A and B are shown apart, each in its own frame.
Chain A
Amino acid sequence: MSEVKALSGKAIAVMGDDIDTDRIIPARYLRCVTFDGLGEHAFADDRIQSNGEHPFDNPDRQGASILVTNNNFGCGSSREHAPQALSKWGIKAVIGQSFAEIFFGNCVAIGVPCVIASPEEVKQLQALIDENPQTEITVDLSNMEVTSENFSIPVQMNEGSRQMFLNGTWDNCGQLVNNAESVKVTATKLPYVNWQTA
């Protein structure tokens, strides 16, 4: 599994607070048994409503890989299809004022870091990429900053998740499985494991 230290690319801003995962990927696109092909349906309903004016339809933003958002991005449903759809569209990192908890965890699990910046600095960043769509932005997890030419803002992420990206342990399934013996010991200490099996 790969280490994630810094990610660079063109940026794309999707403005607004409380953008829920139903908006990121409407439920009808969850009728699938793989995550393939979800990218083209990212923000499907918002895009229909904005008649081609949605950032994800903007020709200048095609190929962008850094998503800039506002407050409580990814709230609502726990569907991993949401970060998967963004990732398959091409998003590699997300910058925002705050993130919903399950969404944040789902992003970690697929290697997409979400970093938090202050409202003022998110605004500055949105203005910057609005003026210069081709500007390359870097999300740097080693130094916890987002930078561009002549631009730099500090960002935050909880230290545990940050270490998982830096060490390349963001997919920790293997780690969990390796502790199977300790897991069994914990299970034997739980009263209900003895009296109840499904």
Chain B
Amino acid sequence: MSKGTLFDKVWDLHTVGTLPSGQTQLFIGLHLIHEVTSPQAFAMLRERNLKVLFADRTVATVDHIVPTENQARPFADALAEEMMQALEKNTQDYGIRFYNVGSGNQGIVHVIAPEQGLTQPGMTIACGDSHTSTHGAFGAIAFGIGTSQVRDVLASQTLALAKLKVRKIEINGELPHGVFAKDVILHIIRQLGVKGGVGYAYEFAGTTFEAMNMEERMTVCNMSIEGGARCGYINPDETTFNYLKDRDFAPQGEAWDKAVSWWSSIHSDTDAEYDDVVKFDAADIEPTVTWGITPGQGLGISETVPVAENLAESDRAIAQEAYKYMQLTPGQPIKGTKIDVCFIGSCTNGRISDLREAAKVAQGHHVASGVKAFVVPGSERVKQAAEAEGLNKIFEQAGFEWREPGCSMCLAMNPDKLEGDQMSASSSNRNFKGRQGSSTGRTLLMSPAMVVAAAVKGQVSDVRELF
């Protein structure tokens, strides 16, 4: 059992008590809600005549269903409009802070909470969305929950949970040119598998993560869940504190100094004990692309689609399923695979530094003919910052569409969708069958810079050859 890790410390501090089932009743410091997984939770509150216990510890925004072209109300999609109205009413009825479209603060829930300084080290954070693991980048314990649990947090500010084991994933060394945080997490998932993390919290440690900025750390923690780990975190350090300083909800003045001192104290001890430790070398990581239907089916850009016989027996059936669905042949190079649609955005890679990296590659190039390419900033603030830097102009001149913020084609709940069996190069997090809105649509996950390379060449390409 782990001892002295950040996870242990934060877990203990937030423990209200032990329930008759043996589970821990855990206090949730920050609860984030959105339009998709909260309406039924509010309906349950009303049914049971329950109140919201700490209304000021829940923050709402709208992200999954918002159109990224025409945002005029009512939305063209009547179902989306109904969800929007439900969130507007629920947040008003229960006195919950709500960042609506046009407020200047709206965006993907996992983008807006960090950028406003709501996400802080040492907190427990829950949201009805599996990518809540993103917030672990700050040294918070953050995880996705279902709608009944959204109800539980609203009504009690707590959850009933069993404690997770802790696996330390240590990576040291400098990332090679053209290799980004996205490649690091795709590499980890490829090595440990999509169910390797079930029952674990992942602690990402080592000089590779220490050298990352906060947005890169968010990319890594974001995809912990794709490796089966419900939460992933990185110990807070100067990079974390510098990012938080002077953000809207960061402590000020004397409180800031106290905060830094407390945040430093929750760092995993040097002699902390882990349930498992694995190590990788940064130098071994290539620009990575998925070829299949799970985020674990990844390849270095120079590699070929694996032959089933060469895989572990447990990976063969899903590989066979993937060849058929993806229309790829074992042994073929992944580089050169023709691309129809390119998507840059999502809670994984829709932040300002992602757009800067993508723009750097896009500058001076043009999207290949026949390719549809679009950029969806992660939030209204990201959009504003990008426009202030002129990134939108670079993208537009390169032939990318520049859209309004939201989750967009990561999961295609809004009008942005693949059609038929289109192949997409996507900076998002899931390549599941049907994920991007068409039941035969195909997704290749990669870093934003690699998406731009694919857009420019019209095929999966090695970004290192472009810049």
Please judge, given known A-B contacts A18-B194, A23-B433, A160-B21, whether A183 and B37 are in contact too, CB under 8 Å: no
CA distance A84 to B430 in the complex (A): 22
- Interface hits, B117-148 → A, CB 8 Å: 118, 120, 122-123, 128-130, 132, 143-148
Please judge, given known A-B contacts A18-B294, A198-B118, whether A180 and B145 are in contact too, CB under 8 Å: no
Instruction: Please tell me if the beta carbons of A78 and B129 are within 8 angstroms of each other in the complex.
Output: yes
Least Cβ–Cβ distance between A5 and chain B, in angstroms: 16
- Selected from A16, A27, A35, the residue in CB contact (under 8 A) with B318 is A16
Instruction: Please tell me if the beta carbons of A186 and B14 are within 8 angstroms of each other in the complex.
Output: yes
Among B157, B293, B440: residue with most chain A CB under 10 A: B157
Q: Is B187 part of the binding interface, using a Cβ–Cβ cutoff of 8 Å? A: no
Instruction: Please tell me if the beta carbons of B194 and A49 are within 8 angstroms of each other in the complex.
Output: no
Q: Is A118 part of the binding interface, using a Cβ–Cβ cutoff of 8 Å? A: no
CA distance A127 to B123 in the complex (A): 48
CA distance A183 to B65 in the complex (A): 34
Instruction: Please tell me if the beta carbons of B412 and A34 are within 8 angstroms of each other in the complex.
Output: no
Q: Is A101 part of the binding interface, using a Cβ–Cβ cutoff of 8 Å? A: yes
CA distance A71 to B321 in the complex (A): 15
Instruction: Please tell me if the beta carbons of A196 and B194 are within 8 angstroms of each other in the complex.
Output: no
Q: Is B268 part of the binding interface, using a Cβ–Cβ cutoff of 8 Å? A: no
Least Cβ–Cβ distance between B415 and chain A, in angstroms: 11
Instruction: Please tell me if the beta carbons of A102 and B145 are within 8 angstroms of each other in the complex.
Output: yes
- Interface hits, B38-94 → A, CB 8 Å: 39-40, 43-44, 48, 50, 53-54, 56-59, 64-65, 77, 79-80, 82-83, 86
Instruction: Please tell me if the beta carbons of B39 and A31 are within 8 angstroms of each other in the complex.
Output: no
Given the complex, which residues of B lie within 8 Å of A83, measured CB to CB? 146
- Interface hits, A184-198 → B, CB 8 Å: 186-187, 189-193, 195-198
Q: Which of B23-31, B301-309, B350-358, B372-380 contacts A (4 or more CB under 8 A)?
A: B23-31
Q: Is A164 part of the binding interface, using a Cβ–Cβ cutoff of 8 Å? A: yes
Instruction: Please tell me if the beta carbons of B25 and A179 are within 8 angstroms of each other in the complex.
Output: yes
Please judge, given known A-B contacts A177-B50, A196-B251, whether A163 and B22 are in contact too, CB under 8 Å: yes
Instruction: Please tell me if the beta carbons of A102 and B22 are within 8 angstroms of each other in the complex.
Output: no
Instruction: Please tell me if the beta carbons of B439 and A106 are within 8 angstroms of each other in the complex.
Output: no
Least Cβ–Cβ distance between B104 and chain A, in angstroms: 17
Instruction: Please tell me if the beta carbons of A34 and B43 are within 8 angstroms of each other in the complex.
Output: yes
Instruction: Please tell me if the beta carbons of B199 and A101 are within 8 angstroms of each other in the complex.
Output: yes
Instruction: Please tell me if the beta carbons of B145 and A78 are within 8 angstroms of each other in the complex.
Output: yes
Given the complex, which residues of A lie within 8 Å of B250, measured CB to CB? 196
Instruction: Please tell me if the beta carbons of A31 and B16 are within 8 angstroms of each other in the complex.
Output: no
Instruction: Please tell me if the beta carbons of A186 and B15 are within 8 angstroms of each other in the complex.
Output: yes
Name the residue of chain B whose CB is nearest to the CB of A47.
B439
Least Cβ–Cβ distance between B154 and chain A, in angstroms: 10
Instruction: Please tell me if the beta carbons of B251 and A105 are within 8 angstroms of each other in the complex.
Output: no
Name the residue of chain A whose CB is nearest to the CB of B39.
A33
A interface, over-half SS:
helix
Contact string against A for B residues 436-464, beta-carbon threshold 8 Å, 1 for contact and 0 otherwise: 01011000000000000000000000000
Instruction: Please tell me if the beta carbons of B158 and A28 are within 8 angstroms of each other in the complex.
Output: no
- Selected from A72, A109, A175, the residue in CB contact (under 8 A) with B194 is A72
Q: Which of A58-66, A140-148, A165-173 contacts B (4 or more CB under 8 A)?
A: A165-173
Q: Is A121 part of the binding interface, using a Cβ–Cβ cutoff of 8 Å? A: no
Q: Which of B254-262, B273-281, B340-348 contacts A (4 or more CB under 8 A)?
A: B254-262
Q: Is B435 part of the binding interface, using a Cβ–Cβ cutoff of 8 Å? A: yes
Name the residue of chain A whose CB is nearest to the CB of B429.
A76
- Selected from A45, A183, A198, the residue in CB contact (under 8 A) with B158 is A183
Q: Is B370 part of the binding interface, using a Cβ–Cβ cutoff of 8 Å? A: no
- Interface hits, A32-50 → B, CB 8 Å: 32-35, 44-46, 48-49
CA distance A196 to B56 in the complex (A): 10
- Selected from B25, B54, B122, B439, the residue in CB contact (under 8 A) with A26 is B439
Given the complex, which residues of A lie within 8 Å of B77, measured CB to CB? 31
CA distance A28 to B120 in the complex (A): 33
- Selected from B53, B56, B432, the residue in CB contact (under 8 A) with A198 is B56
Given the complex, which residues of A lie within 8 Å of B293, measured CB to CB? 18
Given the complex, which residues of A lie within 8 Å of B50, measured CB to CB? 173, 177
Q: Is B411 part of the binding interface, using a Cβ–Cβ cutoff of 8 Å? A: yes
Instruction: Please tell me if the beta carbons of A176 and B155 are within 8 angstroms of each other in the complex.
Output: yes
Least Cβ–Cβ distance between A33 and chain B, in angstroms: 4
- Selected from A27, A46, A48, A98, the residue in CB contact (under 8 A) with B195 is A98
Q: Is A77 part of the binding interface, using a Cβ–Cβ cutoff of 8 Å? A: yes
Instruction: Please tell me if the beta carbons of A31 and B79 are within 8 angstroms of each other in the complex.
Output: yes
Instruction: Please tell me if the beta carbons of B37 and A49 are within 8 angstroms of each other in the complex.
Output: no
Contact string against A for B residues 1-31, beta-carbon threshold 8 Å, 1 for contact and 0 otherwise: 0000000000001111101111101010110
Please judge, given known A-B contacts A18-B318, A106-B146, A192-B120, whether A183 and B156 are in contact too, CB under 8 Å: yes
Please judge, given known A-B contacts A46-B433, A78-B130, A191-B262, whether A16 and B321 are in contact too, CB under 8 Å: yes
Least Cβ–Cβ distance between A77 and chain B, in angstroms: 5
Instruction: Please tell me if the beta carbons of B30 and A198 are within 8 angstroms of each other in the complex.
Output: yes
Instruction: Please tell me if the beta carbons of B148 and A110 are within 8 angstroms of each other in the complex.
Output: yes
CA distance A89 to B225 in the complex (A): 27
Instruction: Please tell me if the beta carbons of A31 and B413 are within 8 angstroms of each other in the complex.
Output: yes
Among B27, B82, B437: residue with most chain A CB under 10 A: B27
Please judge, given known A-B contacts A183-B156, A187-B27, whether A80 and B13 are in contact too, CB under 8 Å: no
Q: Is B219 part of the binding interface, using a Cβ–Cβ cutoff of 8 Å? A: no
Given the complex, which residues of B lie within 8 Å of A32, measured CB to CB? 39, 79, 83
Instruction: Please tell me if the beta carbons of B40 and A48 are within 8 angstroms of each other in the complex.
Output: no
Q: Is A75 part of the binding interface, using a Cβ–Cβ cutoff of 8 Å? A: yes
Least Cβ–Cβ distance between B289 and chain A, in angstroms: 19
Please judge, given known A-B contacts A22-B430, A22-B435, whether A187 and B155 are in contact too, CB under 8 Å: no
Least Cβ–Cβ distance between A162 and chain B, in angstroms: 9
Instruction: Please tell me if the beta carbons of A72 and B79 are within 8 angstroms of each other in the complex.
Output: no
Given the complex, which residues of A lie within 8 Å of B19, measured CB to CB? 172, 175
9 extra interface residue pairs, beta carbon distance < 8 Å, beyond A77-B130, A79-B36, A198-B56: A18-B195, A27-B413, A28-B413, A72-B194, A72-B195, A78-B132, A159-B22, A173-B155, A177-B53
- Identify 10 residue pairs between A and B in the complex whose beta-carbon atoms are under 8 Å apart, listed by A's number: A18-B318, A22-B411, A22-B430, A28-B437, A79-B37, A110-B148, A169-B20, A176-B159, A193-B29, A198-B59
The 5 A-B residue pairs with the shortest CB-CB distance, nearest first, are A80-B146, A106-B146, A109-B148, A78-B144, A45-B439
